[in-house]
Amino acid sequence: MFSTRSSCLRFAASKSFPYLPHRSCLIHRRSLSAVASRISSRQRVRLGRFAIAGTILGGSILVASTHPIHADAERDDEELRNDQIPLTELIRAYTVYSMCSIPSLVDYSPKILSTLLTIPGLSLITEKFVRYTFFNQFVGGDTALEVLPVLRRLRSEDKGTLFAYSVEVDENEAAGSKSSNHAQPAYKQAVNEMIRCIEVAADFEDQIRLGQKSSNGRRTWVAVKMTALLPDAQSLINFSKYLLQVRAPTEIPVCYPGCPRSDDCDVLEMDPVKLPETCSLTAEDLNSLKELKEDLYRICQRAKERGVKLIIDAEYTWYQPAVDAFQLDLMRKFNSLPKKNSRLFSQHAEDINPVQPLIYGTFQAYLRRMPEYLEQSLIDAKAGNYALGVKLVRGAYHVQENAVYEKHFEAQKKAGEASGKGKMVTLSKNYFSEEPNPPVWSTKAETDLCYNTCVKMLIGSVAQDVGVVGKDRNVKSSSSGVRPPHVGILFGTHNSASCDLVLDSLVKYGLAKVESEGEKSVIHIDNEVAERVTFGQLYGMSDSLSDSLVKRTRTEAPFVIKYVPYGALSEVLPYLGRRAIENKSVLGNGVAEEERRRAGSEIVRRFYGIFRS
């Protein structure tokens, strides 16, 4: 168990692709030259890889369409799967991951793109390049309906989907600078789009599960980005500040940004005119937060009616206390369980609630509040008689978190020096922690240890939930007397060691069995367990890991889901920039190089087959 003496810090909210004011071409050249000067000569050589790949890309379309691919006599499963991937997709993957292998290029990609997008003539070329490379690699399509072919392909590979409208909050608006360029407010468009996404996901599941009455096994879920659902995200920041001031301490000490309590949203029922002058919430904030709650209820109610699970995305820590508060409120309402003395308690789970848990929250292992926050959440769920939905991830904002902490620390230092001179220094208005450490663990090893600790805690909770104790216990599903799930977990990880730990723990607790299929061993997972445990990886990344998990496990419903974002290119550009920087930790340590190598090896094999013929 980890110490709770340190805390996590809030992330620096900065727009991933800040659109720069128009400048002259000379200034543009200077801007790009400054960026280029920071890329080493070795990295420039590596940059040539994707230039060569891009040249091959056009010609390969003709080659691939006019020449058959000759397979070797004996092929393994990975090669057989690779045969189904178009050559153009392999070259695209090689190009993208060659670029992702250059850290400096990733770091400066937002600035490079934002500059190119303001240069007449180059903007169209830039958009085309991004669409045919990064967009097609990591994004499912422009609209929810356009993503349906991706959903079908993934399901044919025995994978589910976490559907995500990839709208990003404008941090300028979050700071209070609002825009009203749309006939309908952007946040209302986002609310309606998420409901539309639920409809598309449900229709897809209904179609492929035609004639099946069971609500189990539905593996098309929807992600909810809360900061995009209100007119000014600053209201969430103000709500977070208020909550940190008034929350009662938890049974288990939890460091910043704390742990939500059941009465967090009570303030939303207050008359705005009665707010004290010292309160961080304004009347406008209160009205926006009330509207957000109503919209969230509308989204969740439709998800419940259509049998679609919802995953609340994590945010920067200055938003997180408010997000946690709404998340808890939604779980208490939509994940509620029948009481033990209720007649429904003894009935089959499907007769009680079609999908449970319906609402999942994102728990980030790189925050110092973990695993105590998770432990307290499990206690609260049991006491409140609701199912706890957990999406466990390592976390994506480490660089930003540390940057904001260091900035705040320096401001505090200057404030101390200035106080003796009668000067005023403005501290960060979005940083509320009084703890000495940043909110994130200092090293990846600490984050890995925290993640794996949470894995063991959660698998233990699943074992208790299904009543299975001991690795020799048979795992069988009964047709009656089955309780609805009290806990559901989506293990979001690209780390193979963590995946192994999850599978090993399932076997250890008797939640799964290792059986032989020919010359290989596979892990059979019972339906009761598969309804509570799922793996997830990002679309366009770690396909070899996803395929391996599918190959090693046997479940009736998909045991692996891919996070598939969608949206118009202009909307997705900030997402792609943010993901590029955030996923350096995922793409680092040789992962991008390995993805590039796999694609390159398959390209070489195919061209060898062409010329050999």
User: Which pLDDT does position 50 carry in this prediction?
Assistant: 47
For residue 363, which amino acid is it? F
106 lies in a domain?
A: no
User: Which pLDDT does position 14 carry in this prediction?
Assistant: 38
The number of domains in the chain is: 1
593 lies in a domain?
A: no
User: Which pLDDT does position 53 carry in this prediction?
Assistant: 47
Bridge partner list, 363: 392
User: Which pLDDT does position 477 carry in this prediction?
Assistant: 41
| Spatial CB neighbours of 265, under 8 Å, sequence gap ≥ 6 | 293, 325, 326, 329
User: Which pLDDT does position 179 carry in this prediction?
Assistant: 47
Bridge partner list, 563: 162, 538
547, 120 Cβ separation under 8 angstroms: no
The pair phi, psi for residue 3, each rounded to 5°, is -70, 150
Query: Would the pTM of this model clear 0.75, i.e. be above it?
Result: yes
Tokens (6 digits) for 179: 């825009």
User: Which pLDDT does position 231 carry in this prediction?
Assistant: 94
56 lies in a domain?
A: no
User: Which pLDDT does position 407 carry in this prediction?
Assistant: 83
428 lies in a domain?
A: no
300 lies in a domain?
A: yes
Separation between Cα atoms, residue 140 and residue 510, nearest integer Å: 37
55 lies in a domain?
A: no
Q: What is the CATH number of the domain that holds 194?
A: 3.20.20.220
Pairing of strands 520-525, 512-517: antiparallel
User: Which pLDDT does position 420 carry in this prediction?
Assistant: 59
191 lies in a domain?
A: yes
| Spatial CB neighbours of 99, under 8 Å, sequence gap ≥ 6 | 47, 50, 105, 106, 133
411 lies in a domain?
A: no
Burial class for 347, CB neighbours closer than 10 Å (0-12, 13-18, 19+): middle
User: Which pLDDT does position 349 carry in this prediction?
Assistant: 44
390, 314 Cβ separation under 8 angstroms: no
Domain that holds residue 385: 140-395+441-470+486-580
User: Which pLDDT does position 182 carry in this prediction?
Assistant: 53
Query: Within the chain, which residues score under 50 in pLDDT?
Result: 1-30, 32, 35, 45, 47, 50-75, 170, 172-180, 344-352, 424-426, 469-481
| N-terminal to C-terminal alpha carbon distance within the chain | 61
